[in-house]
Amino acid sequence: MNPRPPITRPTRHCDGEWLELRADLGALTDARLRETERRLPDLLAWNITLDAGLKFVLRPRSRLVLCAEVRATEDREEAALAQLETDLINAARGTSPDTVPAPRSPCGDPVRDTLETVCGDAGWNVTRGSGGMLHVQLDGSGALGPACVTAIGGSNPRIQAALTPYVEMAPASLLALAVLGLWCGGVLRLVRAGIDRRERQQALWIEVCLGSQPAPGDILDALTALSAAGRLAGEEARALLDPRIARAYLDLLRETLPRHFESDPSAMSATINQPTTEERKAA
């Protein structure tokens, strides 16, 4: 097993409205895409296990990034940002392809009541399903069905929507969906993509993590972002379940890497080069 590289302090980037804490993992090149075909889906499997809205994404110049986003306008103390940086570093060191997310469950009544009221007042179609799970109909037809509001393993609530059904994916489809999901999370604020695994089947999800007591604006921002992600990537995601289309997508991607994003020169961690599940078992 290859030793993990040292991870230094994440960098901070502010565009006026958003502050991003970022750990750059290096560029996704043609050769690297071929070398990491099994690891890229692992990144999306890890995504749905991370707390505080941390996410692996593809950013400018096809760079793989582990980041966290917060509104720059919020009155955040330096200690809180320092803790978020620590969480990010721990995530980069501790994520593992063997990590399995806890089962989904309905969020607590206070949060659920707030979400139901806010969504109803803003015109979002919201219903309660079996077991008290809250479902919200997103704008557009990108997602497979309504988004669900869940709490996973006692964590803060999150709003999730599936872009594909659970199927046993061909390797080309799984890799293509991993690239699509990482790219989608990189171009949209708040949203992160995740590959959820059930035995031999996988599905591509999108989600937004909320705080323990989300404000109405946070809830509406989350639903708007998820709707945009569904419109952006939903139909393409389902098309990539066809291995022939997935292989054509990857061939086109290899021809354009890393030219189809603009420059972002920072580089620090090689988390992507951690051992795969198979390599860990062999070790």
Q: Give the Cα separation of 91 and 108 in Å (integer).
A: 26
Beta strands in 81-157 (DSSP E): 104-106, 126-128, 134-136, 147-152
For residue 67, give the H/E element and its range.
Answer: strand 63-71
**What range defines the domain where residue 42 resides?**
11-282
CB 184 within 8 A of CB 43: no
Q: What is the pLDDT of residue 58?
A: 85
Residues in Cβ contact with 5 at an 8 Å cutoff, skipping those fewer than 6 apart: 269, 270
Task: Please check whether residue 6 lies inside any domain of the structure.
Answer: no
Task: Please check whether residue 204 lies inside any domain of the structure.
Answer: yes
Task: Please check whether residue 2 lies inside any domain of the structure.
Answer: no
Q: What is the pLDDT of residue 262?
A: 37
Above 60 in pLDDT, residue 8? no
Task: Please check whether residue 4 lies inside any domain of the structure.
Answer: no
Q: Give the Cα separation of 182 and 187 in Å (integer).
A: 9
For residue 256, give the H/E element and its range.
Answer: helix 243-256
How far is residue 175 CA from its own chain's centroid? 15
Residues in Cβ contact with 15 at an 8 Å cutoff, skipping those fewer than 6 apart: 72
Above 50 in pLDDT, residue 54? yes
pTM of this prediction exceeds 0.75: yes
Task: Please check whether residue 251 lies inside any domain of the structure.
Answer: yes
Q: What is the pLDDT of residue 1?
A: 28
The pLDDT tens digits of the residues spanning 24-41 come to: 777 666 666 666 566 788
Task: Please check whether residue 102 lies inside any domain of the structure.
Answer: yes
The pLDDT tens digits of the residues spanning 144-178 come to: 889 988 876 556 788 999 999 999 999 999 999 99
Task: Please check whether residue 219 lies inside any domain of the structure.
Answer: yes
Letter string b/e over residues 185-219, b meaning 16 or more CB atoms within 10 A of that residue's CB: bbbbebbbbbbbeeeeebbbbbbbbbeeebeeebb
Between 27-31, 147-151, 184-188, 203-207, the lowest mean confidence (pLDDT) is in 27-31
Q: What is the pLDDT of residue 206?
A: 95
Above 60 in pLDDT, residue 217? yes
Tell me what the pLDDT averaged over the chain comes to. Answer: 77
Q: Is the alpha carbon torsion for 162, 99, 154, 79 positive or negative?
A: negative
Q: What is the pLDDT of residue 272?
A: 33
Q: What is the pLDDT of residue 151?
A: 72
The pLDDT tens digits of the residues spanning 10-22 come to: 888 887 788 888 8
Q: What is the pLDDT of residue 53?
A: 76
Q: What is the pLDDT of residue 147?
A: 92
pLDDT band of 261, cuts 50, 70, 90 = very low
Q: What is the pLDDT of residue 176?
A: 94
For 152, half-sphere exposure in the C-beta direction (CA atoms, 13 angstrom radius) is: 22
Q: What is the pLDDT of residue 138?
A: 92
In a 3-state reduction of DSSP, which class is residue 154?
coil
The total number of structural domains in the chain stands at: 1
Q: Which of 103, 77, 104, 116 is nearest to 216 (CA)?
A: 116
Task: Please check whether residue 270 lies inside any domain of the structure.
Answer: yes
